[in-house]
Amino acid sequence: MLYWNRTCECMPRDEMMKLQTERLIAAVNRVYHNVPFYREKMQARGLEPGDIRTLDDLKKLPFSYKKDLRDTYPYGMFAVPLSEIVRIHASSGTTGKQIVVGYTRKDLDTWSEVMARTLVSANVTRESFVQIAYGYGLFTGGLGAHYGAERIGASVIPASGGNTRRQIQIMADFGTTTLACTPSYALYMAEEIEEAGIKKGDLKLKSGVFGAEPWSLEMRKQIEERLGIMAIDIYGLSEIIGPGVASECSCQNGLHVQEDHFIPEIIDPETEEVLPPGSKGEIVFTTITKEGFPLIRYRTRDLSMLTYEACDCGRTTVRMEKVTGRSDDMLIIRGVNVFPSQIESVLLHIGETTPNYQLIVDRVDNLDVLEVDVEMTPSMFSDEIKQIADIERKIRKELDWVLGINAKVKLVEPKSIARSEGKAKRVIDRRKL
């Protein structure tokens, strides 16, 4: 099977533009009438739904930001009555509060469709055994991949994240053919497999769909060689739908955006000006079919580039370049989004004032590790070793609660964190991605 949906994936450009235009007009009408947030923003610009008639008119519409999702928490951006929502997911926000997203039955159908297309790019068929080692739960990775694989009719193994030894046992005994997880976890598994003395020839593994964090071509090479598979990069974010927004094909040369559902634009993150194809900038998405939680011109903060050139695989959809960075300070650690501001708000609860801190991210044995160095303040320091150790423990527990990440907390001397122009450098990322 070459494509899951040849009609949509190989649609001539003029037809795709026509389809997108129709869907964009309908989407703008829906949000204008159903979501006060969009109506007010459009009215502030003197815009009415009738002003959006072509794809080119998209740039007239205001952007939406992560902050808007926080300000309207939890359901303020939903565009249907809550009784129509059949699924809720959530991802971490910038300061502790989560971003909540909702799906109607049709949205789940769309999501399964785009994930099915993604998995077919990795040669998944009805005969495949797909082991899903993304976390299940509020995180969209697990269930997103799950429904896509089920749509194809593959045998789904919902292993969820963690317990690597069991994952490997399942892989060997159940005959897993496709693995879905974060790339760093795939590499970690490769190592454990080698350590367990299992030869890659003993496994039936043929492909993997990896995403939720940035990874380099070097890392891909390693995963492919050590597991003996083809490794496909997939892209998505909860706000847009979850995994399935875009995916590489077997050409591994850019990620095909599922354009009949999500329109991408590249903008200059500073001026917010739309840039022509081939320019590097921040990728912005507009969902044109989503019912529950539609987003207009959502600023992803991910840096990429678009190309409309034909791909050797035969798909005609626009391709986005592998995401190379962020236009904000967000870090992705073991697939979890982490903002320094979240850590700041945790520290504010501990001491009387926010101490200076620094985040040191590294990759040890292919797993991301986060160390949080916190400068000791007079209000935190006492003569008792136990009390200091208690502060470290308290910070660690709070961080785990807010971020869902086990960080190493280290108290350091006052003024010991390097400063530039009076401000401490917040993040040191030593990972070589």
Partner 1 sequence: MLVKQISVFIENKSGRLAEVTKTLGDNGIDIKALSVADTADFGVLRLIVNRPDDAERILRDAGFAVSRTAVIAIGVADVPGGLSVALGILEAGGVAIEYMYAFIGKMKDEALVILRVENPEKAIEVLGGKGIQVLAAETVYGL
Binding-site ranges for partner 1 (CB under 8 A): 376-378, 380-385, 388-389, 410-416
The phi, psi pair for 157, rounded to 5°, reads: -110, 100
The smaller minimum CB distance to partner 1, of residues 324 and 379, is found at: 379
Q: How far is the CB of 397 from partner 1 (least distance, A)?
A: 17
Cβ atoms of 247 and 256 closer than 8 Å:
yes
Contacts with 402 (C-beta within 8 Å, 6 or more apart), sequence order: 96, 342, 345, 346
Instruction: Supply 286's token pair.
Output: 């507009």
Q: How far is the CB of 373 from partner 1 (least distance, A)?
A: 10
In whole angstroms, what is the distance from residue 273 CA to residue 256 CA?
23
In whole angstroms, what is the distance from residue 233 CA to residue 284 CA?
19
The smaller minimum CB distance to partner 1, of residues 324 and 382, is found at: 382
In whole angstroms, what is the distance from residue 183 CA to residue 279 CA?
27
Cβ atoms of 316 and 10 closer than 8 Å:
yes
The smaller minimum CB distance to partner 1, of residues 54 and 353, is found at: 353
**Centroid of chain to Cα 293:** 16
Q: How far is the CB of 382 from partner 1 (least distance, A)?
A: 6
In whole angstroms, what is the distance from residue 56 CA to residue 44 CA?
20
Q: How far is the CB of 387 from partner 1 (least distance, A)?
A: 10
The smaller minimum CB distance to partner 1, of residues 43 and 387, is found at: 387
The smaller minimum CB distance to partner 1, of residues 49 and 355, is found at: 355
The smaller minimum CB distance to partner 1, of residues 312 and 383, is found at: 383
**Nearest Cα to 287, choosing from 266, 259, 267, 318?**
259
Q: How far is the CB of 376 from partner 1 (least distance, A)?
A: 4
Torsion of CA 180, 184, 186, 189, to 10 degrees: -140
Q: How far is the CB of 109 from partner 1 (least distance, A)?
A: 52
